[in-house]
Each structure stands twice: as structure tokens, then as C-alpha cells.
């Protein structure tokens, strides 16, 4: 290359750098090429420009230009008209003498996936299911937004990441469960799906919750202080809310999916309150009462003296039963190794989560799509009859019912037998003549064999509060 061409290229590079340094019209990185915007509702859209600038937005799915104006801080917010599922579309934002054009935009449904390692894990952790899927990762109607690991003591307004088209490369670091949810819903609904993966292994729920909600609640704060510091994950309340969720709060969603809890086993008694606080804070930040679906933690050999993981599962069950528009997936039957905290069957977990959405968001007439949850007990002589929520059909078992115990007033639990009577479970033991309480699968490692008509496991439970 001759000297003249080198000089021209150098000047162009300097000019380009100069332009980028002084460009004042900006969008968050997550408003990018290849993104999915939520169909069927007005779309929140925002950015920055010089104070008192007039903003014009033109989109290929709407006719009239959308206008906005920056405030004294140079911030602007607009509502883009709703559109039907489809694309690709183009969007152009204009302010003063600057413009930004975004291309290959789809309108569809957007899901946020978050939590700790069981949500985070994928091909980078050599999960066979997702590695087998990667050669076929070419669906143009699935888009991925993978949020980088970063924490902050203060709320941030952007992330370093942008949307990617589905490919083996973009799927490599992505959540296996998030991808398989997208694949399942896309195949059933035939609409574009965007998935945001914002998860970090080993993190407690406190870091995903705005810090002021923890700091101003003595009960939650005491339990948050039990989370020890280390150099591989944050532990301070709010740190990941600030950096990995807050920046895109308001980006229209269909629902959120959550898989977390293992790091809160030691402080199990505050988990229901913590989750209600976190979920409500997210919904408040979005100003949207979106559905929130989560996974009950799996059987694992924690080796605690008391069944702390069972207590935490009970807390998760409380949240699912009492907080509106939530749902819980039980996976006691999907564990192949109780010494591995990361069950490898992610497709099955994702399908159960997707079925919650299918029934409650897409209104498919599914029966028994939720795991049965303990409702009440009735003592009848030497037996206890147990009734369940979320049960339309009959109970089933694979052989004699396992992990079942019964106790009298002495609070001494004895192994029990169980019989199925339609949608009831009848429990008894020759060793307990006047029973008062039942426990089912109420240990840290139990993988019991009682199911509903669709093969979903009954959630572990206890009828006592001892």
C-alpha cells in the first residue's frame, strides 16, 4: 500500500474517532441491531442527546413519526406504537444533525432469564444437551442478549452487550435453559422470541434485589449479612440488580424465568420474604405485573445437620402459592447425581417452565401442567388423608410410594406407607396409632416417586411446623 493511501486511511480513522467522541445522540447498547421488541403493546424506548433536543423516531412497522424531547439531563423517553409479531424491521432515531439506524429488528415476545449457575450454565460448562444442539442453532426467529458479569454499588444505565442472532457462536456462553425455553415457545407459537440471560453462578438473591429494600428491613438485612465475601462472585445487596438488571428495566417483557436458591439455603427462613421483595421490586421497576416463573431447587447432598434445603423448598412453595402470577417447577425426578449441584437435564426443566407460559400466557388448555402442592390434611382414625392444590386428575406412583413419614404427638416420625385414592393420598404406619403429621420427600436429597397424571412430581411437603 502506497504512502498516499496510508495517509488517507489514517485521516479517515482519526475523523471517525473524532465523530464518535463527540456524538451526543446515544442509545443503550441493548437497543441494537437484531433485537426483539415486545409485540402487542406500546414499546418503551429511550436514550440520550443534548439537553432540549427534539427527537424523531421512524419505524417501518408504524406510520407516524414518534417525537420526544430531552430533559435538562439530556435524557429522553418515547413510546413506540405496538406492532404484530414479525419482521425484520428498521428503526431510525434522529436528533439535531445526528441519526442512528437499527436494522433486522423483530417484533415478538421477550423473556428475562436470571438466577445463579443452574440458570447460567450452557456450552461453556460442557453441558451435553446444549453442545448437541449447537450444530442446529440457526433459527432466525430466536435472538439472544447475554449480559456480562459485572456488579456495581450504584444503579447503572447501560450494559456492554447487544443482541445477537442465534448461532453456535452466540449460543456458546448462553443459558441452556433460556435457549430451550425460547426454542419450545417459538416452535409452539411460531413467533419471534428474544431471551435476555442475566445470571451469575453462586449468587444469593440479595444481590439481585435493590439494596435499599434489604438495608431498611432488619430481618432481611440480618440474613444478607450472613453471605460471606469471596473473589468469584458478588455478595453485597443490590450489586447485580444495579449492573445486570436495572440498566434495561422497562425493556418490555412477556415474563421472567428464575432458577436460584442454592446460595440461600443457609438463610432459608427469609427466602419467601426475600423473593416477594425482589419480584415486586422488579415489577415496580418495569411498571408491569409480568408473570414470574421459577424452579424449585433440586435434591443435593448439602450435608447439613438439619434439612435446610427442604426448608428452603417449602419457602419457595409459599411464594408460588401466595404471590400472584408466579409459578414453580418441581424437578425432584430430574437429578442423576445428588452429589452434583448442577443437574444436567436442562431441556426437561425448560419444557416445564415453557408449559407454565403455554397455559397461563398463551392460554393453551393444558391439564395438570403444574406440580401438585400440599393443601390440607384430615386425620381419619389411624390414617391421614392429604389433599393437594394444582391437581385436576389423579395421583400416580411408580411402585410403592417412597420418602413418606408419619408422626404422632410425640413428634417422632416413622416410615409410612401411602395409598392413592383418586386425587388424595392416604398415609399410615403400624408404628403410629394416633397420627398428627405427615412428611413427604422432606429431606435435602429425596427423589420421591409420586406424580400427577402428566408425570410431574408432587412437591415435597410437611404438614407440621415443628
pLDDT tens readout for residues 404-413: 999 999 999 9
Architecture of domain 107-360: 3-Layer(aba) Sandwich (3.40)
Give the DSSP H or E segment for 461.
strand 461-462
**Average pLDDT of the residues in 166-178:** 98
Write down the mean pLDDT value for the chain.
95
Share of residues in the chain with pLDDT > 90 (%)? 94
207 within 8 A of 241, measured Cβ to Cβ: yes
pLDDT band at 228 (very low <50, low <70, confident <90, very high): confident
204 within 8 A of 227, measured Cβ to Cβ: yes
pLDDT of residue 5: 52
Residues in the chain: 466
Question: Is pLDDT at 27 greater than 50 in this prediction?
Answer: yes
Question: Is pLDDT at 13 greater than 70 in this prediction?
Answer: no
423 burial (CB, 10 Å; 0-12 / 13-18 / 19+) is middle
Main-chain dihedrals φ then ψ at residue 19, nearest 5 degrees:
-65, -45
Report domain extents, the chain. Answer: 22-104, 107-360, 373-453
**Average pLDDT of the residues in 145-164:** 98
Question: Is pLDDT at 424 greater than 90 in this prediction?
Answer: yes
Architecture of domain 22-104: Sandwich (2.60)
Main-chain dihedrals φ then ψ at residue 291, nearest 5 degrees:
-65, 145
**Average pLDDT of the residues in 317-336:** 98
Q: How far apart are CA 242 and CA 363, in angstroms?
A: 34
**Average pLDDT of the residues in 289-300:** 98
CA 252 to chain centre: 15
pLDDT of residue 15: 42
Q: How far apart are CA 224 and CA 245, in angstroms?
A: 19
Q: What is the pTM of this model?
A: 0.94
- The three-class DSSP label of residue 260 is coil
Share of residues in the chain with pLDDT > 70 (%)? 95
pLDDT of residue 325: 98
Strand partners, 376: 387
Rounded to 5°, angle at Cα 218 from 287 and 324: 35
Question: Is pLDDT at 89 greater than 50 in this prediction?
Answer: yes
**Average pLDDT of the residues in 131-149:** 97
Question: Is pLDDT at 233 greater than 60 in this prediction?
Answer: yes
Question: Is pLDDT at 275 greater than 90 in this prediction?
Answer: yes
Alpha-carbon radius of gyration of the chain: 25
Q: Do domains 22-104 and 107-360 have the same CATH topology?
A: no
pLDDT band at 46 (very low <50, low <70, confident <90, very high): very high
Amino acid at each position: 500500500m502506497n504512502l498516499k493511501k496510508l495517509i488517507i486511511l489514517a485521516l479517515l480513522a482519526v475523523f471517525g474517532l473524532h465523530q464518535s467522541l463527540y456524538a451526543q445522540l446515544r442509545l443503550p447498547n441493548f437497543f441494537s441491531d437484531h433485537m426483539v421488541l415486545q409485540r402487542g403493546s406500546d414499546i418503551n424506548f429511550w436514550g440520550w442527546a443534548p439537553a432540549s433536543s427534539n427527537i424523531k423516531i421512524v419505524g417501518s412497522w408504524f406510520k407516524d413519526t414518534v417525537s420526544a424531547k430531552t430533559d435538562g439531563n439530556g435524557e429522553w423517553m418515547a413510546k413506540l406504537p405496538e406492532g404484530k409479531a414479525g419482521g425484520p424491521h428498521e428503526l431510525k432515531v434522529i436528533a439535531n444533525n445526528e441519526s442512528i439506524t437499527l436494522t433486522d429488528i423483530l417484533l415478538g415476545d421477550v423473556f428475562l432469564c436470571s438466577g445463579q449457575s443452574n440458570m447460567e450454565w450452557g456450552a461453556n460448562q460442557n453441558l451435553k444437551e446444549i453442545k448437541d444442539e449447537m450444530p442446529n442453532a440457526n433459527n432466525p426467529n430466536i435472538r439472544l442478549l447475554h449480559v456480562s458479569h459485572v456488579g456495581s454499588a450504584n444503579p447503572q444505565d447501560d450494559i456492554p452487550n447487544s443482541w445477537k442472532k442465534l448461532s453456535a457462536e452466540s449460543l456458546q456462553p448462553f443459558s441452556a435453559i433460556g435457549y430451550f425455553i425460547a426454542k419450545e415457545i417459538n416452535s409452539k407459537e411460531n413467533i419471534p422470541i428474544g431471551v435476555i440471560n442475566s445470571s451469575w453462578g453462586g449468587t444469593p438473591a440479595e444481590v439481585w434485589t435493590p439494596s435499599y429494600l434489604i438495608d431498611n428491613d432488619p430481618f432481611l438485612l440480618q440474613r444478607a449479612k450472613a453471605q460471606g465475601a469471596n473473589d468469584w462472585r458478588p455478595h453485597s445487596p443490590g450489586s447485580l440488580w444495579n449492573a445486570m438488571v436495572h440498566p434495561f428495566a422497562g425493556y418490555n417483557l412477556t415474563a421472567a424465568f428464575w432458577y436460584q436458591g442454592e446460595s440461600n439455603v443457609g438463610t432459608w427462613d427469609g427466602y419467601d420474604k426475600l423473593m416477594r421483595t425482589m419480584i415486586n421490586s422488579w415489577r415496580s421497576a418495569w411498571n408491569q405485573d409480568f408473570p414470574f416463573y421459577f424452579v424449585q431447587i433440586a435434591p443435593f447432598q448439602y450435608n447439613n445437620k438439619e434439612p435446610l434445603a427442604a426448608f428452603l423448598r417449602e419457602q419457595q412453595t409459599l411464594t408460588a402459592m401466595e404471590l400472584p402470577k408466579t409459578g414453580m417447577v418441581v424437578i425432584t425426578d430430574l437429578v442423576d447425581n445428588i452429589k452434583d449441584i448442577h443437574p444436567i437435564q436442562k431441556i426437561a426443566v425448560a419444557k416445564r417452565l415453557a408449559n407454565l407460559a403455554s397455559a397461563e400466557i398463551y392460554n393453551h388448555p393444558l391439564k395438570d401442567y403444574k406440580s401438585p402442592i400440599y393443601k390440607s390434611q384430615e386425620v381419619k382414625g389411624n390414617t391421614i388423608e392429604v389433599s393437594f392444590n394444582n391437581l385436576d386428575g389423579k395421583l400416580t406412583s411408580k411402585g410403592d410410594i417412597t420418602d413418606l413419614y408419619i408422626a404422632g404427638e410425640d413428634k417422632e416420625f416413622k416410615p409410612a406407607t401411602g395409598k392413592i385414592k383418586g386425587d388424595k393420598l392416604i398415609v399410615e404406619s403400624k408404628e403410629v396409632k394416633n397420627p398428627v403429621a405427615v412428611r413427604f420427600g422432606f429431606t435435602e436429597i429425596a427423589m420421591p416417586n409420586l406424580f400427577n397424571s402428566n408425570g410431574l412430581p408432587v412437591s415435597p411437603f410437611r404438614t407440621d411446623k415443628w
